[in-house]
């Protein structure tokens, strides 16, 4: 099913194409504190460098679990006035207040202002789709679709262009084919003056042309080339010689740690 633009006939603005982003940087304010979330590697790094710059229409946050990708993305969403569980500024629901206080310690620097915003996170997707169904009687019933179908339907239905879109691990809902469908929609929305910041583990999504990939690790946050990511290298190695990779994994007993640094012989 193709992406359909909701339009008034007005040509899209060109802020993003001119390098004027809806989020151009994230600044740390004050000194923070001890413990969570300030003990998370990404937050420690941001507190030290004071500012993280966003320099492309599509930015990926990648890295191992626990390095702070989703925590930082969530803080940006809340600082922008979005519901921490997902949705737009108009989505007012809460099942459990588990978001951190990080949004109180950052400032989002903007060079332009979107007319559309949406925070879509895989872990709270059921809650978001339920809220849409209850608050909008004319909305599509996303619960009668598969997880992946409903996820892509919300992307098609709710993301209208001239927008800032924050996606947290969208691949959790999507098959490889549907991930490529999402790439197509993202490309169309970028052409309609939109910006994406995406937390992901998917080497398919990371391949988006011209995207900047920021790797989160225990040592901080740094830009990385797509083909130099563990995600790309480990997936390539596994798909090239799955039997060899499985033997390495089971022999190591390490849960796969470090396998990406060992070239396939």
Residue with tokens 């007012």, as numbered in its chain? 92
pLDDT score of 153: 84
Decide if 85 contacts 118 (C-beta within 8 A): no
Name the β-bridge partners of 155.
none
pLDDT score of 54: 97
pLDDT score of 12: 64
CA–CA separation, 30 and 60 (whole Å): 26
Decide if 53 contacts 25 (C-beta within 8 A): yes
pLDDT score of 265: 41
Each of the 265 residues of the chain gets a pLDDT tens digit; together they read 445 454 445 566 888 989 999 999 999 998 888 899 999 999 999 999 999 999 999 999 999 999 999 999 999 999 999 988 777 666 554 555 667 799 999 999 999 999 999 998 866 565 666 666 666 666 676 666 777 788 888 888 889 999 999 999 999 989 999 999 999 999 999 999 999 999 999 999 999 999 999 999 999 999 999 999 999 999 999 999 999 999 988 998 766 665 555 544 4
CA–CA separation, 18 and 41 (whole Å): 32
């Amino acid at each position: 099913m193709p992406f359909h633009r909701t339009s008034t006939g007005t040509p899209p603005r060109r802020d993003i194409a001119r390098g004027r982003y809806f989020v151009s940087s994230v600044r740390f304010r004050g000194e923070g504190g001890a413990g969570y979330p300030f003990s998370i590697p990404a937050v420690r790094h941001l507190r030290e460098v004071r500012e993280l710059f966003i320099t492309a229409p599509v930015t990926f946050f990648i890295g191992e679990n626990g390095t702070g990708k989703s925590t930082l993305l969530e803080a940006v969403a809340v600082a922008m006035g979005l519901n921490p569980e997902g949705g737009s500024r108009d989505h007012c629901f809460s099942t459990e207040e588990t978001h951190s206080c990080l949004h109180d310690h950052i400032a989002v620097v903007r060079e332009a202002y979107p007319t559309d915003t949406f925070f879509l996170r895989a872990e709270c997707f059921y809650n978001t789709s339920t809220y849409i169904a209850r608050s909008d009687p004319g909305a599509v019933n996303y619960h009668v679709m598969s997880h992946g179908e409903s996820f892509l339907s919300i992307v098609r239905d709710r993301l209208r262009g001239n927008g800032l879109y924050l996606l947290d691990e969208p691949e959790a809902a999507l098959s490889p084919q549907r991930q490529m469908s999402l790439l197509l929609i993202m490309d169309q929305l970028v052409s309609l003056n939109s910006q994406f910041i995406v937390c992901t583990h998917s080497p398919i999504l990371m391949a988006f042309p011209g995207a900047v990939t920021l790797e989160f690790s225990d040592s901080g946050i740094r830009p990385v080339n797509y083909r130099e990511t563990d995600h790309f290298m480990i997936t390539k190695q596994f798909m090239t010689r799955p039997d060899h990779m499985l033997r390495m994994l089971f022999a190591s007993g390490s849960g796969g740690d470090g396998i990406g640094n060992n070239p396939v012989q």
